[in-house]
Amino acid sequence: MTSALAGGAALAATGRSWAEGDPLITEIQDWNRYLGDGVDAAPYGMPSAFEADVIRRDVPWLTADPVSSVNFTPLHALDGIITPNGLCFERHHAGTALIDPADYRLMINGLVDTPLVFTMSDLKRFPRENRVYFLECAANSGMEWRGSQLNGCQFTHGMVHCVMYTGVPLRTLLQEAGVRTSGKWLLAEGADASAMTRSIPLEKALDDCLVAFAMNGEALRPEQGYPVRLCVPGWEGNMWVKWLRRLEVGDKPWAQREETSKYTDLLENGIARRHTFLMDVKSVITSPSPQAPVTHGKGPLVITGLAWSGSGTISRVDVSIDGGRNWKTARLDGPSLPKALHRFYLDIEWDGSELLLQSRAMDEKGYIQPTKDELRAARGVNSIYHNNSIQTWQVRQDGEVENVEVS
């Protein structure tokens, strides 16, 4: 009752009211007149047909072929902190490997006392854990280094997703094999045609990495590495090897392709930073944004977005509506979990004038998201990876939103 009144008042404030004799109220509608589908019409449920726009999308000119490409999470259309399984962005270097779990094998070799091979049923007999983590590709926002480019947070920031993983701590499996004291690094290798291989410091492998077989309560999706992927919480998505088939313990990093010519950051002085594993503190306003314009005119406006940090939890998000001149602390709502997405809101009265929306996140370690100029001063403009700078959306008087740069 109270909220209905509040809603009515809000609508009145915008100059609109309910039309007298609205047929949606006075006439019986089809959904009220006829019986609907019975149970089992969709043994695996799908979203409402009215949500058909909420899909992953790619940018065709970014890559030459879809088997080595990326599509993007529709962040502008989602709420809360969990990404639905069917909407998690996909990044494949050689397409999706299709593996029958009965044929699945995970090998541990190298500097271990006992080389081991696990089947799916072996993995499911170890004590398991449930953890919510974001996964962000190091190339997320990479197109925005030199200036604003892609018109929508799906494209500028959509190489991130956040789900609850179920899996066995990597530590448990390594302990089973017995890591020799000379072991300092771990090589994780995928079973797909790209045989994705990355070196991970043993310290991280023994800390919080998971060998995961489920996401959001059900088996991993094929696109996300079914039947088993590695989770490397807070670190760049490339290390989260999908279709995981082998773990080798060694005494130094391997210098594979994806940690030398790729996933290193070329600085202004010609020297490349390498082993830049951590995903730094970052945020983005998801609505309003270019794909989520303001359609209701002035009055109450919910500004919302996501913040995350590879270093832990988000302690604060500030939002500016005037391009960074003034800041207000946003409201964080929903679980605050380390290395997971955080949801923030700033509820304002929009006077209908142009806005320059920005968000700036801070994490529990005190790291603050930089402006674009601060980031470029530190890293130059050669890199495409690890762009965690502040994003600006221009909201025009007609409610349309555009990607602009205020640096």
- 286 binds ligand MTE, rule: CB under 6 A: no
Nearest to 96 by CA among 163, 191, 187, 161: 191
- 246 binds ligand MTE, rule: CB under 6 A: no
3-state secondary structure of 138: coil
**Quick one: which segment of 31-39, 45-53, 241-249, 329-337 binds ligand MTE (CB under 6 A)?**
241-249
Measured at CB, which residue is nearest to Co ion?
A: 137
- 238 binds Co ion, rule: CB under 5 A: yes
Residue whose token pair is 């992927």: 229
- 90 binds ligand MTE, rule: CB under 6 A: yes
- 363 binds ligand MTE, rule: CB under 6 A: no
Question: What does each C-alpha distance from 344 to 55, 262, 304 come to in angstroms?
Answer: 22, 33, 6
| Residue list 178-197, contact with ligand MTE (CB under 6 A) | 190, 192, 194, 196
Residue whose token pair is 């990597």: 170
- CB under 5 to 8 A by kind: which of Co ion, ligand MTE, none does 386 bind? none
3-state secondary structure of 297: coil
- 137 binds Co ion, rule: CB under 5 A: yes
Say if strands 328-329 and 331-333 run parallel, antiparallel, or are unpaired.
Answer: unpaired
When the beta carbons of 237 and 299 are compared against ligand MTE, the nearer one is: 237
Amino acid at 89: F
CA dihedral 88, 89, 95, 99 (to 10 degrees): -10
- CB under 5 to 8 A by kind: which of Co ion, ligand MTE, none does 93 bind? ligand MTE
3-state secondary structure of 93: coil
Nearest to 307 by CA among 356, 278, 345: 345
Among 56, 157, 204, 242, binds ligand MTE (CB under 6 A): 242
- 93 binds ligand MTE, rule: CB under 6 A: yes
Number of C-beta neighbours around residue 169 at 10 A:
21
| H/E stretch holding 87 | none
- CB under 5 to 8 A by kind: which of ligand MTE, Co ion, none does 194 bind? ligand MTE
| Residues near Co ion (CB under 5 A) | 91, 137, 237-238
| Residues near ligand MTE (CB under 6 A) | 88-93, 135, 137, 161, 190, 192, 194, 196, 223-224, 237-238, 240-243
